[in-house]
Every structure is written in C-alpha cells, then in structure tokens.
Chains A and B, each alone.
Chain A
Amino acid sequence: MTWGPLAEIAVFTALAALGATLLMLPPGLAIAWALARGRFPGRTVLETLVSLPLVIPPVATGLLILWLFGPRGPAGRALAWIGVDVVFTWRAVVVAMAVMGLPLLVRTARAGFEQVARRYEQVAETLGAGPWRVFATITLPLSYRAILAGALLAFSRALGEFGATMVVAGSIPGRTRTLAVGIYSFTETGQDQEAAALLAVSVAIAFCAVLASNRLARTAAVR
C-alpha cells in the first residue's frame, strides 16, 4: 500500500468539499433568507425544490446534473462556450457536492434567520438602514453560528458524497477520485487495505466536522 495516492485523495476530497461549500454559500444564504423572511408566490415550490436532493436517489440527482452540465445541456453549453468543461473533471465533483449539500445549508441557515427576532431588524429600519445594511449588520451577525453550523454540515455531506459524484465525475485516479468513490473503487478491485485507510480518514474528518456543527448549532439555539 502506498500512502501518496491515498493522501492525494483525502486532500482532493477536502478541497473539493471546501470549494463546494463556498460555491453554495451565496445561493444557499439567499434562498434561506427568502424562505425565512419572504412572502412570495412559489415559496413552497422553492422550499420543496431545495429539499429534493435530500430525498431523491443521489444517482438520480447526478443524472440531472449530467443533463444540465453535459456537452448538450444548457449550463454545459454555456460553459463550453467560455472554454470550461465540467463533466468528468474536478469541477463536476464540486458541483455534485454543492447540489447535495445545499439542502442542509439552507435548512440550518433558515432556522438561524428565523431565530433572529424580526423586531431587531425593524428597529434597524427605523434607524434608517436599508435592506442590505439590515441583513449585513443585524441578521447575518445574529445568525452566523447557525450559518457556520449549516456550512459545516453541508461540508460533511460533501465529503461523503458518492452517488451523484459517480455519475457526473466517475472515479478517475488523480483527477476525480474522492474518498467515498475511492472506497468503492478499491473495494471493487480487492484493495481492502487502501479502502480501509480511506474509510478511517473519512470517519475522522466527518466526525470532527459534525461535532463542530452540533456544537455551533447548540450555542446558536441558546443565544
């Protein structure tokens, strides 16, 4: 068993999960805020859509991403036009992780926004603050623990992402192979020691991330 490729897989997975978390933060927070505060037509539909990746098979989500970002998909064509390939590259790994982690971020951040008393925001409004200033100086600071907890949860989910990643990125050693996909591939080829090593790394990283997320969520609830 050589450690180099295994460490490479672990580092690649952590970086991809981090990238996915950063990628989903802006849309995730926007959706969470809209669901927490907004009253608009289609709110329930948006709420349902965002939660779908939690309940439909990850492989099916992967297939949807493949259609979207494939060479003939709308997003894939637009990106190809600026010279960016997605499917079966590291970018596909990040996209798959982001889509699968998004519901967890949105749910946790939304709960955080809902806990911020609307009346603090109203007082800020009477002091002349516009919606962006209210969000940046009142809502966000008062809910940052919940947002951080949600981001960590989504990061942990991204670390373990398998089904969608397999469909859109495959298991290309040194290019798209993640911890979860690696464990599966090594097991398939009878490399049990490698699979066990990746398993141990997966458990260790996920344990730390979920522990931190839970602690943050608890202190967020106490505030």
Chain B
Amino acid sequence: MTFDLDVVLRQGGFELRVQERVDARAVALVGPSGSGKTTLVEVVAGLRRPDRGTIAIDGRVLCSTAAGVHVAARDRRVGYVPQDVLLFPHLSVRRNVLYGARDGASADLDDVTELLELQPLMTRDVASLSGGERQRVALGRALMARPALLLLDEPLAAVDLPRRHRILQALLAIRDRLRLPMLYVAHAPEEIRVVADRVLALDAGRVIAAGPPADLLSADVMPRGSTTRMIGGRGLEP
C-alpha cells in the first residue's frame, strides 16, 4: 500500500506541510499536540481541504488541487474514527454499527462482530459503554462501510490501561486478517511497536523523521508513556 501525501494547509498562524511517499500497511503519526497529526488525518478523510497538494492511496487520487479533484468524504471509502469516537448518541450500538453498512451487509456484520467481539455490546445503550467498548463499536461502524483505508485518531487515548491490549489485538486483526491499510495517530509506544510498520514524526506541521518503528523508537521523536510494561506483559510484542 502506497500513501502519497503531499499537503499544504494553512490555518491562522499554523501551516501543515507534508510531502511523503510511504509504502506500508500501517502508518503511525507521532508528535506533540498541535503538530498537525489530527489535521493530516482529517485532510485524508476529506473533512478539510488542503490549500495545495495531492493525496493518493495506492494510486487512487482522493484529492489533487492541481487537477481540481476533491473526492467528497462520503465517496472516499475511508473508515474514520476520531479521537472522541463520536458514536451517534441517539442510536443504539447496533444501529451505530450498521449506519454505514453497504448492501448485503449481514455477512460483514457477522465478521465484524466476531473480529471486535461486539456481540455482548449490541443491545447496550451507547451512553453506557466504557472507553474501550466505544472504541471497538466505532471501529466496527467504520469497518461496516467497507473502507479501503482506516483512519484512526489516537485509538488508545480514551481506553483504560488494562483494556488496551484488546484494542491492540483488534487493530492487529484488522491489519492482518482484513488487510486493511491504516493511517493512525499514535498515543503510546506500544501501538507503534505492535501495529505500525512505518512512522511519521511531525512537529509544528512538518515531518521531522520517517522510518520503521525500530529506527525511530530509539530516536527522540516518539511519544513517551508508561504502558510498555502493561501491554508487553500480555504478549503482544511482535
């Protein structure tokens, strides 16, 4: 999977300027807050228009200001899970999951439900879900729309430490079983080490480092956290 990201976006005093071509299954975006990670994800999702640039995933052009192409968010086939997951509060878990379902989705529903262990949650009220459960439901909702690319914004941020391994397992299953490419904002070293095969480190709207996780984990650009022990202890390290 090739991610062609050539984006210039100005907003107030902030300028995001990214020009990278990445071959990877899962790309992790890291960097301090305000470095432009979320903005980049939103640009790829089609929720923000870059001032200039081209975005292509495996040759499929989603946006090219030079060619006057801007594929609408609803036609991009990207599964987007924002940081606050934004489950629709007025719909049941089941109806959230089915919101973007394509025709003939019953087989998909079985697969997604099994993959993310959603069955016990289906009849629950959205407001009653824990952080980890919300994240799984949001992943399920995104997957049901049969995306060609998954965009995640800090999928572990709102998840309690002991429950993080479950989300990591889900991300691995999505990457390896569904072979769905991912671009995600990483929160903790674990989700980089376990899930990503390429890392882009951003600072102040610029890519300051790019490469495989092993190379960058030793560098001074990775997020720090105390979760290594917790997750590593559950045998998820590759």
A binding-site residues for B, Cβ under 8 Å: 117, 119-120, 122-130, 137-138, 141-142
Contact = CB atoms under 8 A, between A and B. Distances in A.
Given A128-B100, A128-B145, A129-B100, A123 B76 contact: no
User: 8 tightest A-B contacts by CB?
Assistant: A127-B100, A126-B80, A125-B73, A125-B74, A127-B145, A141-B90, A123-B86, A122-B47
Nearest to B81: A123
B72 interface: yes
Nearest to A138: B88
Interface in B52-101: 72-80, 82, 84, 86, 88-90, 99-100
A129 B74 CA distance: 6
Interface residues of B, number: 24
A127 B79 CA distance: 7
B141 interface: yes
B89 A123 contact: no
B227 to A, nearest CB: 27
Given A129-B100, A142-B89, A142-B90, A123 B145 contact: no
B99 A127 contact: yes
Contacts of A142: 89-90
Given A122-B47, A126-B78, A126-B80, A117 B73 contact: no
Contacts of A123: 80, 82, 86, 88
B86 A120 contact: yes
B interface majority secondary structure: loop
Nearest to A129: B74
A117 B75 CA distance: 21
Interface of B: 45-47, 72-80, 82, 84, 86, 88-90, 99-100, 102, 141-142, 145
A interface majority secondary structure: helix
Nearest to B90: A141
Contacts of A124: 88, 99
Nearest to B147: A126
A137 B74 CA distance: 15
Contacts of B80: 123, 126
Given A125-B72, A126-B78, A127-B99, 11 more contacts: A117-B86, A119-B86, A122-B45, A123-B86, A125-B47, A126-B74, A126-B80, A127-B142, A128-B77, A130-B74, A142-B90
B185 to A, nearest CB: 16
B75 to A, nearest CB: 8
